[in-house]
Chain A
């Protein structure tokens, strides 16, 4: 098989497509890493809000989760791409659109993982901390969350892998990630077989290293 199309476009696919260094705004990692980070942080707040006793905190969080779990990610991207600029009367660049869409969409899923993780910690743990005079916040920070996080690792990593692969959807608004970079190269070279197998391997290597890392984390936490 002639793989010269890969070697001659390797730099563009990897630097521009995967990492985001190049003439276009793009990069799968440049989108995925902050999206995972911010999505998870927002997800912690959403998950904890879902467990709040006060209905005025719990209800909006529940609606948030139910709403974003019920609509397709592509639609969220399109909204932010088409509607928000019209409402605000200011243009949002592709990167801002994609990152915003991923963070608010994924926070709903991360929030559910956080909620399940917190609920997996036995009630007696909260009671023991409470009986020692710890406030709700301290109990959460020092007793519940450390145990919950450990239980959450497998589902969190699965969700992070899903998010990583979903970043390919950003290509539909012209964000030059790995998928879009492959499309650009293919339009010029018409070698879909080589190009798309190559990017599949790149995606797989990234996600596989995430699962290997997760397995190590789980073993260490056990």
Chain B
């Protein structure tokens, strides 16, 4: 990747699930250091969109270029690319047979081939950073949802990614736990991480995002700064969506 080139580019990307056209002609560029919030009604294709960035889903037409590498190219080394793109899931997906510390150490040791001592040092530092130093030896089952999600963020950061993807990271959380996760995400954004977040947390979008991408029915309907989008959405569908989620 050369300087100035976007971290993530979608170029005329299309995807179908069977007959369902889930992504329609997506064109999107996300610069390094950008924090982009993807929002839209459920079923609009936003989760599929970010899952295409690390190749958990493949686009069937067009191209997705991540950190200078096309992920649709034949023979692309997806595992290598994924070490540079961290992902956080709605349902946390921590490994239940491992402690918080082991969850964070696994990929650095098995993929990066880091020595145990070094991996553990990094893992403990990351736990400290997400405010869970004392939970190193706890199993996921003994952590609250918010704590699990923070461990999951630390696990993704352990691979020292250039990009972080968040797929509705707070949607499975009880309300009182949402902020502890958003705080970690906000800190990460302030440090300059390139982030793509699917979220319904409009407060987070307003405060932290550089750009909001609004999707509906598999299309990017509009994109702009949070100030513009929330104050005056250009599209009717954007207006409708905002009126539904912001009136309460």
Interface residues in chain A, defined as those with a beta carbon under 8 Å from any beta carbon in chain B? 122, 124-125, 127-135, 138, 142-143, 146-147, 150
Contacts and interface: CB of A to CB of B under 8 A. Distances in A.
A158 B93 CA distance: 30
13 contacts: A125-B93, A128-B95, A130-B56, A131-B54, A131-B82, A132-B86, A134-B107, A138-B111, A142-B110, A143-B95, A143-B106, A146-B97, A150-B97
A135 B111 CA distance: 8
Contacts of A150: 97
B44 interface: no
B118 to A, nearest CB: 17
B80 interface: yes
B87 interface: yes
B79 interface: yes
Contacts of B79: 133-135
Contacts of A124: 89, 91, 93
A16 to B, nearest CB: 43
Nearest to A138: B110
B159 interface: yes
Given A127-B56, A138-B111, A142-B106, A132 B82 contact: yes
Contacts of B85: 131
Instruction: Name, among A129, A130, A131, A150, the residue most crowded by chain B CB atoms within 10 Å (CB to CB).
Output: A131
B194 interface: no
B96 interface: yes
A138 B91 CA distance: 22
A132 B87 CA distance: 8
Contacts of A134: 79, 107, 110-111
B83 interface: yes
Interface in B42-91: 54, 56, 79-83, 85-87, 89, 91
A150 B79 CA distance: 27
A125 B56 CA distance: 13
A130 B91 contact: no
A133 B83 contact: yes
Interface residues of B, number: 25
B155 interface: yes
A134 B85 CA distance: 12
Nearest to A125: B93
Contacts of A146: 97
Contact of A127 (B89, B106, B159): B89
Contacts of B159: 132-133
Contacts of A130: 56, 82
Nearest to B111: A133
Instruction: Name, among A122, A127, A133, A143, the residue most crowded by chain B CB atoms within 10 Å (CB to CB).
Output: A133
Given A124-B89, A143-B95, A146-B97, A132 B56 contact: no
B23 interface: no
B156 interface: yes
Contacts of A143: 95, 106
Contacts of B96: 147
Contacts of B87: 128, 131
Contacts of B106: 132, 142-143
Contacts of A125: 93, 95
A128 B93 contact: yes
Give 5 nearest A-B pairs by CB, closest first.
A133-B83, A128-B93, A132-B107, A131-B87, A124-B93
A19 to B, nearest CB: 37
A122 B86 CA distance: 20
Nearest to B108: A132
A138 B113 CA distance: 12
B79 to A, nearest CB: 5
B95 A131 contact: no
Contacts of B56: 127, 130-131
A187 B93 CA distance: 63
B175 to A, nearest CB: 23
A132 B89 contact: no
A132 B91 contact: no
B91 to A, nearest CB: 5
